Structures are given as structure tokens and as C-alpha cells.
Amino acid sequence: MQAYIIRRVLALIPTLIFASLIVFVTVRLIPGDVIDLMLSSNDIGADKKSREQLEAALGLDQPMWSQYFRWVGAIVFEGSLGMSLW
């Protein structure tokens, strides 16, 4: 019985990694840009400087793999699924 539980838990790890990759990539493939959405909802002029500052504040200027690991780390260690835009 212990061997069965250990096998199932070990099989769960790659499944969770794969599922998190699917969710992360799917969110990134949604049409539109989160920066444009945030700037337009706050009536801030979408000039290049404010856009770059917002990208840096949200970590969107980092490589995709860095964003993924920061996102997973926030879920695992802080229980945070990210910033809500609504």
C-alpha cells in the first residue's frame, strides 16, 4: 500500500508541473496586453516611460522562464495566484 501511495505522489509531480505550464502559457496567449489594459483603465497616458515602469514593476520585462518560476514560487510559498485586474 505504501508503494502505491508513493508511486501516485511521484506521478503527481510531473502532472502538476505540466498543468501549471499549460495555465501559464494559456494566460500569456490571451489576445491583448495586460499593460494596455491597466493603463487604459486608469486613464494614464500610455507613453513609453510609464509602460516601461509598469512592465518593470510587474516583472514583465524578465524572460518568460523567470516569470514562470516567480509565478509558481508565489503560488507555492505565498498562496498568491497573482494580481487581479478586476
Q: Summarize pLDDT for 35-80 with one digit per residue, the tens.
A: 777 777 666 566 778 788 888 888 888 999 999 999 999 999 998 8
This prediction has a pTM of 0.74
DSSP 75: I
Q: Summarize pLDDT for 13-23 with one digit per residue, the tens.
A: 999 999 999 99
Rounded to whole angstroms, the Cα distance separating 68 from 26 reads 12
20 and 72 Cβ atoms separated by less than 8 Å: yes
Within 8 A by CB and 6+ apart from 20, the residues are 68, 72, 75
Rounded to whole angstroms, the Cα distance separating 76 from 46 reads 34
